[in-house]
Amino acid sequence: MTDKDGSFIESPEEAAVREVREETGFDVEIYGKNYCDYDTNHEMLVVPESMHIHPIDEEHNHLGFDYFCRIKGRQTGVNEQEKYKWFSEKELENYPHDATPELPDHVRAMGAKAIKKLSQL
């Protein structure tokens, strides 16, 4: 994200942490390796688990960065009306394509991969 004069103000990781907090109320920590640091003037970013582009509508594409996170805590005073559901790795792998909520193949696959990877830490 940039401000009015074009200065960079939010990294992809910061955006991911902010989005999770805004949408769920959870504070999370991103797990992953950082790119190699060859210059002390550079802030090295976490390598996303995947990056993708997919269409939203005829005029808009969505650029996605997938990060694996663990919950650090929950914010107080968050809108408790938000609905979310926890899945096990097996539930994601066997989730029916016609079920509600709809979970795209990419979401199911990345969720199962995250559970497997983070459970080994």
Written as one letter, the residue type at 44 is M
CB 73 within 8 A of CB 27: yes
Written as one letter, the residue type at 37 is D
Q: What confidence tens digit (pLDDT) does each residue in 17-61 have?
A: 999 988 888 999 999 998 887 888 888 899 999 999 989 999 999
The two structure tokens encoding residue 97: 């394509």
Structural domains in the chain, CATH included, are 1-75 (3.90.79.10), 85-121 (no CATH)
Distance CA(18)–CA(15), nearest Å, equals 5
Distance CA(117)–CA(106), nearest Å, equals 16
pLDDT surpasses 80 at 8: no
